[in-house]
């Protein structure tokens, strides 16, 4: 019955999420601590609020059940095949369906008094905000943010506020075009061009443009006016320069010289989230890490939604918009290049309010003509090489094939061990 109730599409999104989370060994070590902290805090709050019965009868068993499910999954190793077998089995399917409904209820409760103070207590505060015009210690601050959070916001980034506003207007106008015109933005590669609503992201539509790393006619597939093109080119120019600066700072932060992203392939993506009353309390984009090296995100100044997983607590932390700032985050390739030091931050977009949300994203993917590997300076006897050299296209294909969206594909790329 419950199984039938659970919406099939959101369920597969949920399964992706929970599947990836369950397969992350690091998170599991926190379960005991979470359970204990939750119990103490919930007892305290429930007692104070005079709703002990509700707490005992509803909330606590609910959380216990989800934790029980997580522990069950510890029996499974990191292979998606095993997870699929679990999911497809009678008992596994039922558990996931029930857990889906329960976790949905839990996330609704997240707005209430029970979980919020607990999350706040466990969390490390806000993601760092870095002033790009800081004269001393900028490179070290960036590297530190990449290691600790895998995401940070930047101010004084050199992108004029008017350009950010103009760009948002252009993006909105492109999405306002009739469906048949948007569909003309095609690409031979899947996931590129115009991306319409799909079952795992039913509120999201997007445009994805590849090869924006150097000036060119990459706007041609878009039905954009000359004025709109001018703004897009201007925006991409400044954002590409910003990416270059960040690449140099990452090198400097490790005591290395050079232009890290010189000649690397970049991709642009525009997102429109059709958040409405029905979508409140569900995902705009499900939990993932970016398969790229670095992401520069201009999120919507007016609508929140981005959440990242705190690597220490496993809790979702909001990355609320701060007008005029840009967010920068690390992807899987950055983790590989830094020999495991950078955090390929897991994130999702959550719908909190029925308001249309736009975002403009530049992905620095990696080099086209060579593989990515950690520089020798980041490898020594205490920090042995964690990954074989990676071809970015092969990596993306492997990631899609394995349906591992939160970076677990990296664990298949350990170099052979010499006994």
Give me the residues that bind Fe ion (CB under 5 A), please: 290
Q: For ligand AKG, which residue has the nearest CB?
A: 359
Among 17, 210, 290, 332, binds ligand AKG (CB under 6 A): 290
Torsion angle defined by CA atoms of residues 25, 31, 33 and 34, in that order, rounded to the nearest 10 degrees: 130
- In degrees, rounded to 5, the angle at the alpha carbon of residue 272 between the alpha carbons of residues 195 and 170 is 100
Q: Which does 361 bind (CB under 5 to 8 A by kind): ligand AKG, Fe ion, none?
A: ligand AKG
Q: Which are the contacts of 248, defined by CB distance < 8 A and separation ≥ 6?
A: 258, 259, 260
Q: For Fe ion, which residue has the nearest CB?
A: 290
Per rule CB under 6 A, is residue 332 in the interface with ligand AKG? Answer: no
Residues 148, 150, 154, 158: is their CA dihedral positive or negative? positive
| Cα–Cα distance measured from residue 115 to residue 37, given in angstroms and rounded to the nearest whole number | 11
3-state secondary structure of 250: helix
Among 271, 313, 325, 338, binds ligand AKG (CB under 6 A): 271
Residue 100 Cβ vs Fe ion, minimum distance, rounded to whole Å? 23
Residue 306 Cβ vs Fe ion, minimum distance, rounded to whole Å? 9
Contacts of 399-403 with CB under 8 Å at 24 or more apart are 399/291, 399/332, 402/80, 403/16, 403/80
Per rule CB under 6 A, is residue 299 in the interface with ligand AKG? Answer: yes
Question: What is the distance in angstroms between the CA of the first residue and the CA of the last residue of the chain?
Answer: 53
- In degrees, rounded to 5, the angle at the alpha carbon of residue 396 between the alpha carbons of residues 151 and 412 is 90
Cβ atoms 344, 290 nearer than 8 A: yes
Among 42, 345, 361, 372, binds ligand AKG (CB under 6 A): 361
Q: Which of 346, 164, 192, 371 is nearest to 268 (CA)?
A: 192
Cβ atoms 331, 293 nearer than 8 A: yes
Per rule CB under 6 A, is residue 359 in the interface with ligand AKG? Answer: yes
Per rule CB under 6 A, is residue 127 in the interface with ligand AKG? Answer: no
Per rule CB under 6 A, is residue 205 in the interface with ligand AKG? Answer: no
Among 55, 192, 248, 269, binds ligand AKG (CB under 6 A): 269
Residues touching ligand AKG: how many (CB under 6 A)? 11
**Which CB, 15 or 299, lies closer to ligand AKG?**
299
Residue 183 Cβ vs ligand AKG, minimum distance, rounded to whole Å? 20
Per rule CB under 6 A, is residue 315 in the interface with ligand AKG? Answer: no
Per-residue interface string for the shown chain with ligand AKG, residues 227-266, x marking contact by CB under 6 A: ----------------------------------------
Per rule CB under 6 A, is residue 285 in the interface with ligand AKG? Answer: yes
Per rule CB under 6 A, is residue 349 in the interface with ligand AKG? Answer: yes
Task: List, in sequence order, every residue forming a beta bridge with 204; answer none if it has no partner.
Answer: 273
Q: Which residues bind ligand AKG (CB under 6 A)?
A: 269, 271, 285, 290, 297, 299, 306, 347, 349, 359, 361
């Amino acid at each position: 019955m419950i199984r039938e109730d659970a919406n099939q599409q959101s369920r597969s999104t949920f399964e992706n999420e929970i599947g990836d989370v369950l397969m992350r060994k690091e998170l599991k070590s926190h379960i005991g601590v979470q359970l204990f902290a939750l119990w103490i805090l919930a007892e305290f709050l429930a007692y104070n609020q005079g709703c002990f019965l509700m707490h005992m009868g509803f909330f606590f068993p609910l959380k216990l059940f989800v934790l029980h499910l997580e522990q069950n999954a510890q029996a499974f190793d990191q292979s998606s095949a095993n997870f699929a077998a679990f999911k497809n089995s009678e008992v596994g399917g039922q558990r996931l369906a029930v857990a889906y409904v329960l976790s949905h209820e839990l996330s609704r409760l997240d707005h209430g008094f029970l979980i919020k103070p607990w999350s706040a207590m466990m969390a490390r505060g806000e993601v760092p905000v870095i002033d790009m015009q800081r004269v001393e210690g900028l490179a070290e601050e960036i590297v530190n943010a990449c290691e600790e959070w895998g995401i940070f916001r930047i101010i004084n980034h050199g992108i004029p506020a008017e350009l950010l506003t103009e760009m948002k207007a252009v993006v909105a106008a492109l999405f306002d075009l009739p469906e048949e015109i948007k569909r003309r933005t095609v690409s031979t590669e899947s996931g590129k061009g115009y991306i319409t609503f799909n079952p795992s992201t039913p509120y999201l539509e997007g445009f994805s443009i590849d090869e924006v790393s150097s000036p060119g006619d990459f706007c041609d597939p878009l039905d954009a006016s000359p004025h709109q093109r001018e703004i897009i080119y201007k925006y991409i120019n400044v954002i590409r320069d910003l990416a270059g600066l960040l690449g140099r700072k990452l090198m400097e932060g490790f005591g290395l010289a050079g232009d890290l992203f010189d000649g690397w392939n970049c991709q642009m993506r525009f997102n429109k989230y059709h958040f409405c009353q029905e979508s409140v309390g569900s995902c705009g984009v499900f939990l993932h890490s970016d398969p790229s090296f670095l992401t520069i995100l201009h999120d919507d100044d007016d609508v929140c939604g981005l959440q990242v997983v705190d690597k220490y607590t496993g809790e979702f932390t909001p990355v609320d918009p701060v007008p005029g700032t840009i967010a920068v985050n690390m992807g899987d390739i950055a983790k590989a290049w830094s020999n495991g030091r950078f955090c390929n931050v897991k994130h999702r977009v959550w719908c909190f309010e029925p308001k249309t949300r736009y975002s403009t994203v530049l992905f620095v993917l990696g080099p086209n003509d060579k593989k990515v590997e950690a520089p020798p300076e980041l490898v020594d006897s205490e920090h042995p090489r964690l990954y074989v050299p990676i071809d970015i296209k092969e990596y993306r294909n492997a990631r899609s094939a394995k349906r591992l969206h939160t970076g677990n594909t990296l664990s298949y790329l350990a170099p052979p061990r010499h006994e």
